[in-house]
Homo-oligomer: A and B are copies of this chain.
Amino acid sequence: MTTTERLPLTRERIIEAAVAFADEHGIDDLSMRKLGAELGVEAMSLYNHVDNKDDIYDGMINYVFESIEMPSEGVDWRTGIRDICASAMEILWTHSWAVITLMQRGNFGPSALSFMNEVVGRLRNAGLNDEDIHHGWQMLASHTMGYASQAATNPGVMEQKLSNLQAMMAENEERYPHVAALGPLLSECQWDREYMFGLEIILDGLEARLN
């Protein structure tokens, strides 16, 4: 905020500032005017480096997916996919706005396509046929996006902010008995471990299709 104001404005700097802002204040609070202020510039200056706000969203998503770590080509397909997915979940967790924004935009940018290409390549390496590769990718993508979005809106207990689900349950134990019976398992859900558990079931299912 003090020394950075003199740096020339670039698309890259705008995207990075937008990511930082969304991480701190949430993506709903992000506006062109506030983003400009963060960069020591009027909102309208941003349009010299960026098409519009959607373009910024796409850039943010791309920026986040770029940091997914790809394991070496050497490892076997299961550990390869496991590692890619674990890395993806970790970065989606730290940028909790990313999944939902991606879903809204419905736009796979270059880095999301690289992620997809990497997973699909390893499924092919495993020896699956094209149809099962396709099934596998769709399952892994849905699993990852589903857990990431649930984790994003249901913060763990450490966040002390009681989830909406917990609040609703507290008043309606008799109306949703089966949900109530799960009690602590729901409120103390560790999304990363839960995610990896489900991942193994999917990988088991795919492995069973290797003949």
Give A residues with C-beta under 8 Å from B: 99-100, 103-110, 113-114, 116-118, 120-121, 124, 130-131, 133-135, 137-139, 141-147, 149-150, 152-154, 163-165, 168-169, 172, 175-179, 181-182, 185-186, 189, 194, 197-198, 201-202, 204-206
Are B138 and A198 closer than 8 Å at their CB atoms? yes
The residue in chain B whose Cβ has the minimal distance to the Cβ of A99 is B103
Contacts A108-B164, A139-B201 supplied; 11 other A-B pairs, CB < 8 Å: A100-B100, A104-B153, A116-B179, A124-B178, A130-B182, A134-B189, A138-B194, A141-B146, A142-B146, A146-B146, A149-B149
Q: How many copies does the complex hold?
A: 2
SS of A interface (majority): helix
| Across-interface contacts of A153 in B (CB, < 8 A) | 103-106
Q: 5 closest pairs, A vs B, by CB? A: A142-B146, A106-B153, A201-B205, A146-B146, A121-B178
- Give the shortest distance, in Å, between A185 (CB) and chain B (any CB): 4
Q: Please, which residue of chain B has its CB at the minimum distance from the CB of A198? A: B139
